[in-house]
Amino acid sequence: MRAALFTTGPYMEMAIHAYTPMPPLVEDGVVSWRVPLGDGAVPEVALDDCGYYVKWLFDHPDRANGMDLDVAIEHATYSEVARAFAKIILQLSLLLSSLL
């Protein structure tokens, strides 16, 4: 019997959605995350990327047999997530204000 595993970390999309284990909070107009990691990083993965890897497992059963395909796109600290989020929000704010 052939078997393979597909292992991921948390989905990056979970960092910006409510109803996830550690959703972002908006307090006094500031978005923040309360994540008990200190300076630790999380091996995030994009949910949309998972399909490509799973398809490979099904397309290559002989090579995938016994494999644990462990996938992460970025080991990100939440300080990095917050900086990226702020950069995107600033760019969107500037774009919207230029359209008005």
Output the pLDDT for position 65: 97
Burial 64-78 (b: 16+ CB within 10 A, else e): beeeeeebbebebbb
pTM of the model: 0.68
The tens digit of pLDDT for each residue in 21-73 reads 888 888 888 888 888 888 899 899 999 999 999 999 999 999 999 999 999 98
30 near 89, Cβ under 8 Å? no
Give the model's pLDDT for residue 1.
62
Residue with more model confidence, 100 or 57: 57
Look at residue 93 and tell me whether its pLDDT is greater than 90.
no
